[in-house]
Amino acid sequence: MTLDSHAQFSLIAPAKLNLFLHINGRRDDGYHELETLFTFLDYGDNLAFTRLSTSDIELTGDTNNIPLTENLIYKAAVLLQKHTKTAWGAKINLTKILPMGGGVGGGSSDAATTLLGLNKLWNCQLTLQELAKLGIQLGADVPVFINGKSALAQGIGEKLVDVELEQKWYCVVHPSEHVSTAKIFTHPDLTRDTPKLKSDWQQHLLRNDCEPLVKKLCPEVEKTLQWLLKYAPSKMTGTGSCCFVEFATQTEAHHVLENLPSDWNGFIARSVNTSPAHMQLNAVHLSNQVTYK
């Protein structure tokens, strides 16, 4: 019994929103202790995986001219390949939907979805916990995408407690600004002393500690947040630059999108408590990719 070398499937690499982001301190290794609430959206990049009988890792599609060895998708594939010592390779095609430097987790989501997809494609049989340990080497947000559940995150983002959130509709606006996560987290003016939550997060006044700094460095983000206030309380996700408003219905969210200034981009999407990548992955059955000899 051998696995078909041409097995293939596609997965969504979903967007995330940070519904709040508190930074509690800076560690000696440069990483930050934080508390944040992640929710997934049913919207994101698309990754198509094809198994190769050679050990080659091929990456095609919307790579934005990022050098191959610096691309998180390629790094994730090589990391899993080396860890499992698999003889398989893969062709991965990226259809890029999520903005870079937008704070919606595009790069981390792509990396996590690559680990999830190739774990299935290569029949590695690693657990989500094992994949998350690999993923943290690629970025602090990677484990939550591997876990695939709306979650309260602590530590540097790797300590996760699953939560069930009421599903909402979001209008997410990208004001055509790229915000460097590294620049924000190394900036001396970043708030780093928010006390850790001592009880249920829902009982606290919540905020994004990165928002004041990003607004100062990127006036277009402040302009976006102010514009969105016409429709609902506005928030920034992650280190920006994407901003969002929350609604109970798709119609309300779509109304904001229809009135968006022409120089901004945006999308609407529904929140989900389980990552779309996980739901799609559950429908992929290796038994359909087996050849008997």
Which CATH code, of 3.40.630.30, 3.40.50.150, 3.40.50.300, 3.30.230.10, is assigned to 1-293?
3.30.230.10
Give domain limits for the chain: 1-293
From CA 197, how far away is CA 35, in angstroms rounded?
A: 8
45 belongs to the catalytic site: no
Q: Provide the terminal-to-terminal Cα distance of the chain, rounded to the nearest Å.
A: 6
Catalytic residue among 16, 75, 168, 215: 16
Its pTM surpasses 0.85:
yes
How many CA atoms, within 13 angstroms, populate the side-chain half-sphere of residue 163? Answer: 21
Nearest residue to 73 (alpha-carbon basis) of 104, 102, 53, 48: 48
Catalytic residue among 45, 110, 141, 209: 141
Helix axes 128-135, 72-84, angle to 10 degrees: 130
Task: Give pLDDT, residue 4.
Answer: 53
Dump pLDDT digits (tens) for 141-192.
999 999 999 999 999 988 999 999 999 999 999 998 899 999 999 999 999 9
- Computed over every residue of the chain, the mean pLDDT equals 93
Dump pLDDT digits (tens) for 198-243.
778 776 789 999 999 999 999 999 999 999 999 999 999 999 999 9
235 belongs to the catalytic site: no
Dump pLDDT digits (tens) for 23-77.
999 999 888 999 999 999 999 999 999 999 999 999 999 998 899 999 999 999 9
Task: Give pLDDT, residue 96.
Answer: 97
Task: Give pLDDT, residue 31.
Answer: 87
